[in-house]
Amino acid sequence: MIRLERRPEASQVMSYASPLIAILLMLIGGLLLFAFLGKNPLEGFKVFFINPVSDWYGVSELFLKATPLMLIAVGLAVGFRANVWNIGAEGQLIVGGIAASAVALYFQEAEGAHVLILMVIAGGIGGMLWAAIPAFLKTRFNTNEILVSLMLVYVAQLLVSWLVHGPMMDPDGFNFPQSRMFEDSALLPLLSEDSRLNLAFVFALGALLAGYIFMFRSFAGFQMQVAGYARDAARYAGFSAKRMIWIGLLSGGAMAGFAGMSEVAGPMGQLTEHVSSNYGFAAIIVAFVARLNPVGIFFASLLMALLYLGGEQAQQYMNLPSSISNVFQGMLLMFLLGSDVLINYRVSWKEARV
Partner 1 sequence: MDASILSSILFATIVAGTPLIIVALGQLIAEKSGVLNLGAEGMMAMGAIAGFAITLHTGSPWLGVLAGMAAGALMASLFAIVVLTLMGNQVASGLALSILGVGLSAFIGKPYESEILPTVGAIRVPLLADIPIIGEPLFNQQALVYLSWVLFGTIVWFLYRSRPGLVLRAVGESPSSAHSIGYPVIRIRYLATIFGGAMAGVGGAFLSVFYTPLWVEGMVAGRGWIAIALVVFATWRPFRVMVGAYLFGGVMVVQLFVQGSGLGINIPSQFLSALPYLATIIVLVIISRDQNTVRLNAPVSLGQPYRPEA
**Where does this chain bind partner 1 (CB under 8 A)?**
85, 87, 133, 137, 141-144, 146-148, 150-152, 154-155, 158-159, 161-162, 165-166, 281, 284-285, 288, 320-321, 323-327, 329-331, 333-334, 337-341, 344-345
Nearer to partner 1, 135 or 285 (CB): 285
Asked if residue 126 lies in contact with residue 67, where contact means CB atoms within 8 angstroms, the answer is: no
Asked if residue 249 lies in contact with residue 132, where contact means CB atoms within 8 angstroms, the answer is: yes
Which residue type does 1 have?
M
Name the nearest CA neighbour of 265 among 91, 104, 67.
104
**What residue ranges in the chain does DSSP mark as E strands?**
2-6, 345-349
From the CB of 19, what's the least distance to partner 1, in Å? 13
Asked if residue 131 lies in contact with residue 92, where contact means CB atoms within 8 angstroms, the answer is: yes
From the CB of 260, what's the least distance to partner 1, in Å? 18
Nearer to partner 1, 38 or 166 (CB): 166
Nearer to partner 1, 206 or 321 (CB): 321
Nearer to partner 1, 83 or 195 (CB): 83
From the CB of 310, what's the least distance to partner 1, in Å? 13
Name the nearest CA neighbour of 79 among 220, 261, 279, 191.
220
Nearer to partner 1, 57 or 162 (CB): 162
Nearer to partner 1, 157 or 195 (CB): 157
Q: What are phi and psi of 4, to 5 degrees?
A: -100, 130
DSSP output for 224-238: HHHHHH-HHHHHHTT
Q: What DSSP designation does 6 have?
A: E
C-alpha dihedral, 339 to 340 to 342 to 347, nearest 10°? -40
Asked if residue 168 lies in contact with residue 102, where contact means CB atoms within 8 angstroms, the answer is: yes
From the CB of 273, what's the least distance to partner 1, in Å? 11
Asked if residue 326 lies in contact with residue 278, where contact means CB atoms within 8 angstroms, the answer is: yes
Asked if residue 149 lies in contact with residue 131, where contact means CB atoms within 8 angstroms, the answer is: yes
From the CB of 69, what's the least distance to partner 1, in Å? 14
Nearer to partner 1, 141 or 174 (CB): 141
From the CB of 33, what's the least distance to partner 1, in Å? 9
Nearer to partner 1, 60 or 272 (CB): 272
From the CB of 315, what's the least distance to partner 1, in Å? 10
What Cα–Cα distance (Å) separates residue 156 from each residue in 34, 44, 126?
A: 35, 36, 11
From the CB of 156, what's the least distance to partner 1, in Å? 9
